[in-house]
């Protein structure tokens, strides 16, 4: 372990000691919940609400395009790391601005008649929803940057558990929960409730004194580079100049020494899950299950996965992270392969539903736990004072590769014409992940050996 790593770890731990740990977790929970809540409205509640008011399926399908800010946020993420309102704080100034923007957008939506909004005002609705996505995705950049800056190496596991749990709870309440309230309270009160909830979630951020915890950051500062020797190791680079506009370009991250081995892991890690997740719900429907049954299975498996997220946050402290990631990669291949057994199950047996619940729940559990570990290790591959941009770029690469695998998975399944074989192929994609992780570990070991010599 080199001196630069010791220095980086010490600075990170110093930040963690400067802030009360329970308050840190309350802060992160509120921030990730506030991002998941409107996302649930957009992804899960809005399609059903639009259909209830007579919107066409083509109009509902356009909602997917409104999520593009989440995919392309890496383009403006580096700007957030460098430009901010100094008296409020580097991350806090962006977080507060974006939250206020989201609240204002929701408030405006609540005062518009849904009968008009989903017909003649459809373009305005899409504009407002797109704005909501821009505010939420930009806040996510600042929130991730803040989390990377505040969480010490020991706290990263549990910190990312908080991230996943907070976001998923917000997603569930903002989706299923709002549909229930909409049925009883109507459009205006329900949307106003979402806005009021986000206002409450502002309180921890308002109480957080970022400048006292992290200190002022300067645009002219040491640009640190991630080394593959340790997931958290940092190598000091040259002095950065404000005139060097290339510091704000996201592709500069690809020039970081040895980062390619880690990016290979990111690009392959969710390939198997990306393809299989596209096929799970169609499989259950084709097995004769109702939408209500599928919804119940999804809800219960999601709840169980939240427990797993908290458990793996503790394990992260005691097991070498990259080996934990390898373990879950193997386990994910096994759980995805288990879906191939479902078409052969006897639908009339008493154990049929038990097996369905078991397979889906185990898959969701492993997927969530592996995501926590992946996100935690991603934090160790961020350059100092480029945390938001670097973390966002890694996250977008992971989402892109998983989405591509999911899209291709549908075509592959149609070509094969067999669910069992399709899930076996999906699980087989995990081999690329194992190869990427082994290459990463091998390179790390070689560098460690060279440093000893």
The reported pLDDT for the residue numbered 247 is 54
The pair phi, psi for residue 104, each rounded to 5°, is -65, -40
Q: Specify the 3-state DSSP secondary structure of 222.
A: strand
Residue 222 lies in a domain: no
The pair phi, psi for residue 221, each rounded to 5°, is -155, 170
Residue 216 has pLDDT above 60, yes or no: no
**CB-neighbour burial class of residue 14 (10 A; exposed 0-12, middle 13-18, buried 19+):** exposed
CATH of the domain at 381: 1.20.1250.20
User: What does pTM read for this prediction?
Assistant: 0.75
Q: How confident is the model over 380-428, as pLDDT tens digits?
A: 888 877 888 888 888 888 888 888 888 788 888 888 888 899 999 999 9
The reported pLDDT for the residue numbered 243 is 39
CB-based burial, 328-355: b 16+ in 10 Å, e otherwise: bbebbbebbbbbbebeeeeeeeeeeeee
Q: Are 335 and 422 part of one and the same domain? A: yes
Q: Are 291 and 161 part of one and the same domain? A: no
Q: Are 260 and 207 part of one and the same domain? A: no
Residue 248 has pLDDT above 70, yes or no: no
DSSP string computed for 380-411: TT--TT-HHHHHHHHHHHHHHHHHHHHHHHHH
CA pair distance 48, 55, nearest whole angstrom: 10
Question: Which region among 133-142, 241-250, 333-342, 368-377 has the lowest average model confidence (pLDDT)?
Answer: 241-250
Q: Are 81 and 187 part of one and the same domain? A: yes
8 Å CB contact between 233 and 4: yes
The residue that leads in pLDDT, 287 or 96, is 96
The reported pLDDT for the residue numbered 18 is 56
Residue 12 lies in a domain: no
Q: Are 269 and 193 part of one and the same domain? A: no
Q: Give the domain extent around 174.
A: 19-215
Q: Are 204 and 259 part of one and the same domain? A: no
Q: Which of 190, 215, 240 is the last residue of a domain?
A: 215
Q: Are 164 and 290 part of one and the same domain? A: no
If you average pLDDT over residues 287-295, what whole number do you get? 78
8 Å CB contact between 362 and 380: no
* Nearest alpha-carbon partner for 156 in 304, 253, 21, 332: 21
How many other C-beta atoms are found inside a 10 Å radius of the C-beta of residue 27?
23
CA pair distance 32, 36, nearest whole angstrom: 6
Residue 233 lies in a domain: no
Q: Which of 154, 186, 215 is the last residue of a domain?
A: 215
Helix, strand, coil tally for the chain in percent (to 5): 80, 0, 20
What percentage of the chain carries pLDDT values higher than 90?
29
In which band, very low, low, confident or very high, does the pLDDT at 60 lie, cut at 50, 70 and 90? Answer: confident
The reported pLDDT for the residue numbered 234 is 32
In which band, very low, low, confident or very high, does the pLDDT at 268 lie, cut at 50, 70 and 90? Answer: very high
Q: Which of 215, 240, 266 is the last residue of a domain?
A: 215
In which band, very low, low, confident or very high, does the pLDDT at 4 lie, cut at 50, 70 and 90? Answer: very low
Question: What angle separates helix 21-40 from helix 156-172, to the nearest 10 degrees?
Answer: 30
8 Å CB contact between 91 and 138: no
8 Å CB contact between 335 and 363: yes
In which band, very low, low, confident or very high, does the pLDDT at 241 lie, cut at 50, 70 and 90? Answer: very low
Q: Are 201 and 260 part of one and the same domain? A: no
CA pair distance 357, 342, nearest whole angstrom: 11
The reported pLDDT for the residue numbered 249 is 61
Number of folded domains in the chain? 2
Residue 224 lies in a domain: no
Q: Are 259 and 191 part of one and the same domain? A: no
The reported pLDDT for the residue numbered 10 is 39
**CA angle at 412 for the pair 407 and 417, rounded to the nearest 5°:** 130
Residue 267 has pLDDT above 50, yes or no: yes
The per-residue pLDDT of the chain, averaged, comes to 81
In which band, very low, low, confident or very high, does the pLDDT at 211 lie, cut at 50, 70 and 90? Answer: confident
In which band, very low, low, confident or very high, does the pLDDT at 62 lie, cut at 50, 70 and 90? Answer: confident
The residue that leads in pLDDT, 55 or 7, is 55
The residue that leads in pLDDT, 225 or 394, is 394
CA pair distance 275, 405, nearest whole angstrom: 5
Q: Are 64 and 198 part of one and the same domain? A: yes
Residue 61 has pLDDT above 80, yes or no: no
């Amino acid at each position: 372990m080199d001196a630069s790593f010791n220095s980086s770890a010490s600075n990170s731990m110093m930040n963690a000691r400067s802030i009360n740990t329970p308050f840190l977790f309350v802060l992160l929970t509120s921030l990730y919940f506030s991002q998941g809540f409107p996302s649930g409205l957009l992804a899960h509640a809005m399609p059903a609400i639009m259909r209830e008011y007579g919107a066409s399926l083509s109009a509902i399908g356009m909602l997917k395009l409104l999520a593009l800010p989440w995919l392309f946020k890496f383009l403006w993420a580096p700007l957030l790391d460098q430009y901010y309102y100094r008296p409020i704080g580097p991350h806090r100034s962006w977080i507060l601005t974006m939250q206020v923007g989201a609240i204002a957008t929701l408030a405006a939506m609540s005062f518009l008649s849904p009968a008009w909004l989903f017909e003649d005002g459809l373009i305005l609705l899409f504009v407002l929803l797109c704005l909501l996505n821009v505010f939420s995705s930009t806040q996510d950049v600042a929130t991730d940057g803040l989390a990377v800056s505040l969480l010490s190496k020991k706290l990263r596991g549990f910190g990312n558990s908080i991230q996943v749990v907070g976001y998923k709870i917000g997603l569930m309440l903002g989706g299923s929960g709002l549909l229930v309230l909409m049925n009883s309270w109507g459009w205006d009160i329900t949307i106003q409730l979402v806005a009021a909830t986000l206002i409450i979630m502002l309180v921890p951020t308002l109480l957080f004194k970022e400048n006292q915890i992290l200190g002022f950051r300067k645009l002219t500062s040491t640009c640190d580079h991630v080394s593959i020797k340790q997931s958290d190791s940092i190598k000091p680079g040259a002095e950065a100049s404000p005139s060097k506009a290339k510091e704000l370009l996201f592709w500069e991250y690809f020039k970081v020494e040895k980062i390619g081995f880690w990016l290979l892991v990111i690009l392959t890690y969710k390939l198997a899950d990306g393809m299989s997740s596209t096929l799970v719900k169609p499989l259950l429907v084709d097995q004769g299950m109702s939408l209500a049954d599928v919804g119940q299975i999804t809800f219960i498996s999601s709840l169980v996965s939240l427990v797993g997220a908290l458990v793996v946050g503790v394990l992260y402290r005691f097991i070498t992270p990259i080996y934990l990631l390898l373990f879950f990669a193997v386990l994910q291949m096994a759980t995805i392969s288990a879906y191939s057994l479902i078409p052969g199950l006897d639908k009339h047996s008493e154990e049929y539903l038990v097996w369905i619940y078991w397979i889906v729940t185990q898959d969701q559990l492993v997927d969530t736990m592996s995501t926590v570990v992946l996100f935690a290790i991603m934090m160790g591959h961020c350059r100092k004072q480029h945390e938001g941009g670097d973390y966002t770029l890694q996250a977008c690469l992971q989402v892109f590769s998983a989405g591509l695998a999911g899209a291709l998975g549908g075509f592959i399944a149609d070509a094969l014409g067999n669910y069992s074989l399709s899930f076996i192929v999906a699980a087989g994609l995990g081999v690329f992940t194992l190869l990427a992780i082994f290459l990463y570990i091998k390179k790390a070991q070689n560098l460690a050996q060279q440093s000893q010599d």
